[in-house]
Structure 1
Amino acid sequence: MQLKKNLAIAAVFLSASAAQAEDAAIVLGKSIYDEHCTICHGDDGKGGGQLGDLLPESPPDLTKISERSEGSFPIVRTYKVIVGGVAIPAHGGAGMPVWGRYFIADALKAEGASMVEAEQQAAGRVLSVVYYLESIQD
């Protein structure tokens, strides 16, 4: 059943224009960001979340990622940070929670997906957040 749902979603994305697909990914990314990231990074992405003061270092301003990367948004690096493969000082190593593993576990548990389906869903969720972060750059 989940495979049919994923194929239907893929068909919608493929039939839509590139701009529509990107807009849908950004909307999904914002939803995921609002649910999982605002607690530390704040509603506006500037680092003013409720738990920010409890971290070893303040969460960075996510609207300045491109600025910190010489004006170009680093899609792959941002993806790796979210998944959990890059050490970030404010997170005490690479442990921002490791969202890649969380999203995989969520798909396995909540949706009964196979490991391959869960990994694909997790990758899509993380990539949507990356697109959203790219869209909020100052």
Structure 2
Amino acid sequence: MRVVKFVSLAVILLMLSALAVAQQAPAQTPTVKHVPITNTPSNSGKDMYNSYCAVCHGTDGKGKGPAASAMKAPPTDLTALAAKNGGQYPVAHVSAVIRGQAALPSHGSSDMPVWGPLFSSISQGHEAQVQQRVTNLVKYIESLQVK
């Protein structure tokens, strides 16, 4: 008789526990808020990086920015680009990625904005200013490389 009461009590407690777990609100999936691009001065790669890149890649470039958890794939650790390229910083590749001219399978559905057209829009289509933005941003990212 005691065993039946014990088993019944255990079953009731398990059912109550399962019910409590089922009642909990599901965890919210982080989302990225899309905002219009701001016109950050093109002469400062650091300022552009902080305005356009740090939200995903982090201020240190390691891919741990505040929006990183909402990405389908983690943002690239920008400090390791040279290390992953035989010690040479891949200037042309980084430029192509920023402009949206490089295929990035790790981005899945391309969470990373294609900055080339965005830079063109805030530069009123002046290609020289777009190139200056890309060049200064590429140089700043180069300065983040692990030595």
With the length of structure 2 as denominator, give the TM-score of the two structures. 0.66
Q: How many pairs were matched up?
A: 105
Letter in 1 for 2:53: C
- Deviation sequence 1:32-58 (CA, Å, 0-9, x none): 000000010001000001111111110
Using CA pairs below 8 Å that are at least 6 residues apart, which structure has the higher relative contact order? 1
Contact 2:71/2:111 (<8 A) preserved: no
RMSD: 1.7
After TM superposition, the runs of 4+ consecutive aligned structure 1 residues lying more than 6 A away are: none
Letter in 2 for 1:92: G
Contact 1:87/1:93 (<8 A) preserved: no
For structure 2, list consecutive stretches of 5 or more residues without a partner in the other structure. Answer: 1-41
1:123 is aligned to 131
Contact 2:79/2:141 (<8 A) preserved: yes
With the length of structure 1 as denominator, give the TM-score of the two structures. 0.70
User: 2:82 aligns to what SS in structure 1?
Assistant: helix
- 1:48-59, aligned counterparts within 5 Å? 48-59=64-75
2:89 is aligned to 73
- 1:20-59, aligned counterparts within 5 Å? 28-59=44-75
For structure 1, list consecutive stretches of 5 or more residues without a partner in the other structure. Answer: 1-24, 109-114
2:37 is aligned to none
Q: For 2:136 and 2:107, locate their aligned partners in 1 and report how far apart those are by CA, in whole Å.
A: 21
1:19 is aligned to none
1:10 is aligned to none
Contact 1:39/1:49 (<8 A) preserved: yes
Q: For 2:79 and 2:90, locate their aligned partners in 1 and report how far apart those are by CA, in whole Å.
A: 13
1:64 is aligned to 80
Report the identity percentage. 38
- Name the one with the larger helix percent: 1
